[in-house]
Amino acid sequence: AKKALKLALEQHPKSTGLKLVQVEMLIYENKLDIAEKLLNELYAIEPHNEELYIQKANIFSKRDQHEKAVEQLQIALKYTEDLADVYNLLGMEYLFMDNLELAKENFIKCLEEDTEDQAALYNVVYCFEFLDQHEDAITFLDSYINANPYSEIAWHQMGRLHYSLNQYEKALRAFDYATVIDDT
């Protein structure tokens, strides 16, 4: 990937997209100062590019400055067309800050934008469980399943929740639906 990026940047040295890929690689390698410098240069060229704010948030997150990461992601929401991705990132930042209520809200917003996001579905149920809101989780999953009746993950999570509340017949019914949808 590094070689391909190097060649691409040699051929297209002014490409903002390629420079953003370079920033992402620098962040991955924990070269945060270099990545931040490059982001600042890109900001001067394209201040309305949501990816700048997402990558800036990644830098803050890696530095355990989660409040600043949230601020950057809030800005990214103004410019992005992929709201689900940004809401998911916001949910993760709130998880890092142990603010499970806000994490849950953002994972729910993510699912409203992308009903297929399985990680967000797991995360929202995790938040409900950690907050000891099992009945609310079941209500949420009921609503989710009404809109997405073939989600084996939702049915499985529903079964787990009913089981934890000693509602074994409801748990068995939910597990049965999950297995009918995906018998593996």
Contact 106, 94 (CB under 8 A): yes
Say what the pLDDT of residue 5 is: 85
- pLDDT interval class at 160 (50, 70, 90): very high
Say what the pLDDT of residue 15 is: 86
Say what the pLDDT of residue 1 is: 84
Mean pLDDT of 42-53: 93
Average pLDDT, the chain: 95
Contact 57, 76 (CB under 8 A): yes
The model carries a pTM of 0.90
- pLDDT interval class at 10 (50, 70, 90): confident
Say what the pLDDT of residue 184 is: 85
- Per-residue pLDDT tens over the stretch 120-157: 999 999 999 999 999 999 999 999 999 999 999 999 99
